[in-house]
Amino acid sequence: MTAARVRVAQAAGLAVLAGLLALGFVGYLRPGFMVDLTNMVLAWCG
């Protein structure tokens, strides 16, 4: 049971890391997209 949880946690961590790297790459290629995305997140948060 715990080995499955460790494997799921590792997969989730790798997915989060891949998502962050993809966002960083898109931000490097198109900085305007990251500005729009940041504004949308800030508007959604409050």
pLDDT in tens, the chain (46 residues): 698 899 999 999 999 999 999 988 988 899 898 899 899 999 999 7
Predicted local distance difference test score (pLDDT) of residue 9: 93
Predicted local distance difference test score (pLDDT) of residue 1: 67
Backbone angles phi, psi at 35, to 5 degrees: -65, -45
Q: Is the pTM of this model over 0.85?
A: no
Q: Which two tokens stand for residue 42?
A: 């800030």
